[in-house]
Amino acid sequence: MWSSEWLILLVGLPFLGSLLTALLPSHSRSAANWLAGAMALACFGIAISAYSSVTDGMVVRHQVEWVPHLGLSLTLRLDGFAWMFSMLITGIGALVILYARYYMSPKDPVVRFYALLLAFMGAMQGLVVSGNIILLAVFWELTSIFSFLLIGYWHHNQAARDGARMALTITGAGGLCLLAGMVLLGQIVGSYDLDVVLQSGDLIRASDLYLPTLLLILAGALTKSAQFPFHFWLPNAMAAPTPVSAYLHSATMVKAGVFLLTRFWPVLSGTDAWFFIVGFAGLSTLLIGAYFAIFQHDLKGLLAYSTISHLGLVTTLLSLGSPLAAVAAIFHMVNHATFKASLFMAAGIIDHEAGTRDMRRLSGLFSFLPITATLAMVASAAMAGVPLLNGFLSKEMFFAETLEQHRASVLDTVTPYVATIAAAFAVTYSIRLIHTVFFGPRASDLPKVPHEPPRWMRLPIELLVLACLVVGTIPGLSIGSYLDTAVVSVLGDATPVYSLSIWHGFNLPLAMSIVALLGGIVLYMALKSYLDWCEEGPPIFRRLKGQRIFERILVAVSWRWARVAERFLGTRRLQPQLRLIVVAAILAGVWAMWGARHLAPQLTISGVDPVLAMMWLVGGGCAVAAAYQAKFHRLAALIFLGVAGLVTCITFVWLSAPDLGVTQLLVEIVTTVLILLGLRWLPKRDDQIERHGFWVRLRRGRDFFIAVIAGAGMALLAYYMMMTPLPPSVGDYYLQHAYSEGGGTNVVNVILVDFRGFDTLGEIVVLAVVALTVFALLRRFRPAEDNSELPYQQREQNEYDSIQRDREVGETLKDYLLVPSVIMRWMFAAITLLAAYLFLRGHDLPGGGFAAGVAMAIGFLLQYLAGGTRWVEERLRIRPVQWIGFGLLAATATGLGSLTVGYPFLTSYFQYTEVPFIGGVPTASALFFDLGVFSLVVGATVLMLVAIAHQSLRAPKARPDRAVAERAAVEQGES
């Protein structure tokens, strides 16, 4: 018995190979090729060895749980049909890799090519063996993405980029539809397991959701298989390297759509909706593809349209709903893969050898490339459906099926006629391909003189053509049993009796074949001279290009409509944006409170402490004053802001939050200093106060109204909340376990450094990022013109110095606040001690890393204030960035430390340590974490403040650049 673990290898090996290939150095062409080839061959071997386990409808399953409660699992499931596809994917994949070895030019970065090709192989392989329909959709999208990357492989080429983008847009959108369809299917069935889904056909067809599900799944399948009206991406995808076209756009990826249709054929088919939608798409694609193919001048374009047409044939067969038609569909998928892959490779050889793919220039190549020509001829004969080749067999089966009555309708009646006409077109384009390229006068103006390609480059074509011949002559012996395995796995008990013999006697299908063959030859002779000079594209429809329509739509949606939407809905001005945000917040708050209006508490002012009330009368007054003065009296506004902050700080202390009080007080100090430093760089007050017009007053009135509503809303909401009793909260847990598990009695600090240490780590990272941003912004800063000169006070002082005989310029400035600055210098030690004290007691009493860090930063700051930037930096080198780095490392290392002893990240450890003279000191690993917090807060605060302080030193130096910068700014403003 074949072990089901092999399935993981079957899907995983290509991805592994892709990764390994990608890691190779970029010049290792041969190694990449060997590695890729070995991986593909290994998978091929695995696939072959699986055969005995999938015959007679047997299934190999391997399941790994993924998200069990959502019904998602990594189920891999190999049955006969999936096996057949695996053989195509791995077998043709190996041949394509061999072919690519000779095809890819030495200039191409082949490592990327093989890595992508292998990844695509893995995705495709995963798609066919998915046993979970969501997993299937995931692999489906992966094939779209790798196909995008492969089509755009030559990304220096505009056509490749456009083709890749179009393919991704269409197949990717289809993939999203498919995902939605799969979710719906799962909802109907109640399981995402493919086996369960396949057994629930009646349930699905009877469901109300059947039609939407069907439409979504079809949207996925028809886009992928390039069915009308989504066919136009495939010809544009021909900008890909030929091995990619041979692999993706003949044998595998475009087959994914029909694979899906076949996979779900037992559960989705048999309804009117299925018959008409799939049938219409298939039949129109069959005809249009074949018709368009005749008029292509590009060899690969012809093959692309022919592929579209053949996929249409398969789709048509699947639409019919009869088991025999399904057999024919499966058979044709294999046949088409073999002859079309070989033809693409032959086209690649011609392109490679002759330097062009334009059929108007190619002529008489038979004498240059006799072997390749012979191979191409056999393959195109198979494509045209000539007897004794595999294409003929499935085409006969197709004809026979079209003659059967399936559903009385016009569509059913026209099917045989359309089939015959399309078959005649197929003969025409096949003859055209062979006749123009290989016969006629020897072309003399080719870019290169063609030679037969290397032996090994031709080998893949030889093998594939051999397969066409063998299947075409002895179908029963060669492919019979394998086809049967695939068919039984799809149809199960409904498997019909069918015959693969070449000769069925003189019957109507044979007559249709003969008509098509003769009709095609006649049509070619009639069109021959026209085709030599006509424009590319079929008459009448030449102007109607799906590509152009697609691009128009894309431009309209993503450019014009977006512009219109931006003009009407967007603004670059900050004020309307903020206003919208505030109004939205107000509305959300009103909505929420309206829903909770029955909870409204009684408004009461009892229990109001008069002192607190007085404090907030002052604090509130200062807040309003700050708001009022912020425009013209910045310093006053800053002072008012400070008062409001201090009142907040006292409130924290009052209401049992000593930690917050300490931190708020310290932060208040640095904030004030920070803004004071910034004040200098703001513009001077505009002396002429303009008169405010009516509109200005209206705008202000509106903003005032919004502000009042917002404030009232916040107050009301806060009041509601505070008056309702506190439900049991997670805080109780923290209180109970702070000591026993965190080893500290200051619960707030224990939460910060222990229970919620990960949050704190995130927050200090934010702090570090902000500090570095401030630093980076200010490095590039150029102050405005009117701020560059020395402040008024300093100029006065310097003037005074220059008048006095016994004073040097700058002395007054130096002596400014001499006594306080001496005290401030002395304070450094005391503040350091305070910071250490705050830090060490933090785990048990109010304090901690944040407060200690800010205190320490204030210590440094005072030195700057006392002595000036230059004075300090001559004596003390603070390296704030190193402090930040140390802090981050210490905090992270503490967290990682717990991993080394087998606990989750940031688990803390706690014990008492005896320290001489002090006694038992609680030592928790959280202390080191807090040390990290401390160090980072010091570093970040000092870095920000020092960066702003340094501006005064840099300003004079910046002068020469400023004019340039300003001119640039003006130009930018104008443009």
Partner 1 sequence: MEFVIAFAIGVLGASGVWLILRPRTYQVVMGLALLSYGVNLFIFGMGRLRVNAPPVLPGEDAIDPAAFTDPLPQALVLTAIVISFATTALFLVVLIASRGLTGTDHVDGREGER
Among 8, 22, 675, 827, binds partner 1 (CB under 8 A): 675
Select from 674, 790, 836, 881 the one that contacts partner 1 (CB under 8 A): 674
947 lies in the binding site for partner 1 (CB under 8 A): yes
- Nearer of residues 466 and 710 to partner 1, judged by Cβ: 710
Q: Which residues contact 64 (CB under 8 A, 6 or more apart)?
A: 73, 74, 75
Q: Which helix (H) or strand (E) holds 659?
A: helix 658-679
**322, 105, 137: which is closest to 219 by C-alpha?**
137
Closer to partner 1 at the Cβ: 270 or 922? 922
Compute, in degrees rounded to 10, the torsion defined by CA atoms 751, 757, 760, 761. Answer: 170
Decide: is 944 part of the binding site for partner 1 (CB under 8 A).
Answer: yes
Judged by CB under 8 A, does residue 580 bind partner 1? no
Minimum CB distance to partner 1 smaller for 297 or for 782: 782
**Closest approach of Cβ 584 to partner 1, in Å?**
13
Q: Which of residues 902-941 bind partner 1 (CB under 8 A)?
A: 937, 940-941
Near partner 1 in 56-85, by CB under 8 A:
none
Among 107, 156, 567, 573, binds partner 1 (CB under 8 A): 573
The DSSP code for 270 is: S
Q: Which stretch binds partner 1 (CB under 8 A): 291-299, 449-457, 493-501, 682-690?
A: 682-690
**Based on CB atoms, which residue is closest to partner 1, 477 or 921?**
921
Integer Cα distance of 165 and 59 in angstroms = 38
Residue with tokens 């309702």: 724
The DSSP code for 655 is T
d(CA 3, CA 567): 62
Which residue lies nearer to partner 1 by CB, 39 or 851? 851
**What whole-number distance in Å separates Cα of residue 394 and Cα of residue 328?**
6
Residue from 303, 341, 383, 854 in contact with partner 1 (CB under 8 A): 854
Nearest residue (CB) to partner 1, 351 versus 930 = 930
Site for partner 1 in 588-607 (CB under 8 A): 603-605, 607
Does 708 engage in binding with partner 1 (CB under 8 A)? yes
Exposure string of 165-187, with b = 16+ CB inside 10 Å and e = fewer, is bbbbbbbbebbbbbbbbbbbbbe
Does position 882 bind partner 1 by CB under 8 A?
no
Q: In the set 522, 584, 682, 964, which binds partner 1 (CB under 8 A)? A: 682
Q: Which of 34, 154, 276, 719 binds partner 1 (CB under 8 A)?
A: 719
Choose one: 6-14, 285-293, 394-402, 713-721; the region binding partner 1 (CB under 8 A). 713-721
**Window contacting partner 1 (CB under 8 A); options: 230-238, 349-357, 488-496, 671-679:** 671-679
Instruction: Choose among 316, 343, 341: nearest CA to 261.
Output: 316
User: Considering the complex, what minimum distance in angstroms separates the CB of residue 717 from partner 1?
Assistant: 8
| Residue 957 lies near partner 1 (rule: CB under 8 A) | no
Amino acid at 860: F
Query: Which position has the token pair 């219109």?
Result: 564
Shortest Å, Cβ 922 to partner 1: 10
Please list, in sequence order, all residues whose beta carbon lies within 8 angstroms of the beta carbon of residue 232, skipping any fewer than 6 positions away.
Answer: 166, 545, 546, 547, 550
Binding string to partner 1 for residues 601 to 640, with x set by CB under 8 A, is what?
Answer: --xxx-xxx--xx--x--xx--xx-xx--xx--x--xx--
704 contacts partner 1 (rule: CB under 8 A)? yes
DSSP string, 289-312: HHHHHHT--BHHHHHHHHHHHHHH
- 320 touches 308 (CB < 8 A): no
DSSP 63: E
Residue 613 beta carbon to partner 1: minimum distance, rounded to whole angstroms: 5
By the rule CB under 8 A, 771 interacts with partner 1: yes
At 60 the three-state DSSP class reads strand
Applying CB under 8 A, does 406 fall inside the site for partner 1? no
Identify residues 772-791 at the interface with partner 1 (CB under 8 A): 773-774, 777-778, 780-785
Is 664 among the residues that bind partner 1 (CB under 8 A)? yes
Min. distance of Cβ 697 from partner 1 in angstroms? 12
SS3 478: helix
Which of 645, 895 has the CB closer to partner 1?
645
The single-letter DSSP state of residue 726 is P
Count of CB atoms situated within 10 Å of the CB of 627: 13
Instruction: Let me know: does 122 contact 252? Beta carbons within 8 Å.
Output: no
CB nearer to partner 1: pick between 85 and 775? 775
- Residue 811 near partner 1 by CB under 8 A: no
Q: Is 641 in the site for partner 1 (CB under 8 A)?
A: yes
Q: Which segment (156-164, 355-363, 468-476, 719-727) binds partner 1 by CB under 8 A?
A: 719-727
**DSSP notation for 401-446:** HHHS--SSSHHHHHHHHHHHHHHHHHHHHHHHHHHHHHSSSPP---
Q: Residue 286: what residue type?
A: L
Among 298, 353, 659, 930, binds partner 1 (CB under 8 A): 659
Q: Which residue lies nearer to partner 1 by CB, 514 or 655?
A: 655
Closest approach of partner 1 to the CB of residue 919, in Å: 15
Instruction: Check residue 858 for interaction with partner 1 (CB under 8 A).
Output: no
Q: Which of residues 493, 690, 914, 971 is near partner 1 by CB under 8 A?
A: 690
Question: What residues between 729 and 748 interact with partner 1 by CB under 8 A?
Answer: 729-732, 734-736, 738-739, 745-748
Interacting residue with partner 1 among 69, 567, 572, 598 (CB under 8 A): 572
* Stretch of residues binding partner 1 (CB under 8 A), selected from 487-495, 505-513, 815-823, 944-952: 944-952
Q: How many Cα atoms sit within 13 Å of 909 on the Cβ side?
A: 15
**DSSP code string of 775-809:** HHHHHT----GGGSSPPHHHHHHHHHHHHSTT--T
The angle formed by the CA atoms of residues 254, 260 and 265, to the nearest 5 degrees, is: 135
CA 730 from centroid of its chain's CA atoms: 37
What Å distances lie between residue 781 and 380, 461, 868, CA to CA? Answer: 70, 65, 21
Could you give the CA distance from residue 922 to residue 918 in angstroms, rounded to a whole number? 11
Which residue, 71 or 713, is less far from partner 1 as judged by CB?
713
Q: How far is the CB of 951 from partner 1 (least distance, A)?
A: 7
For partner 1, give the closer residue by CB, 110 or 772: 772
Q: How far is CA 245 from the centre of its chain?
A: 25
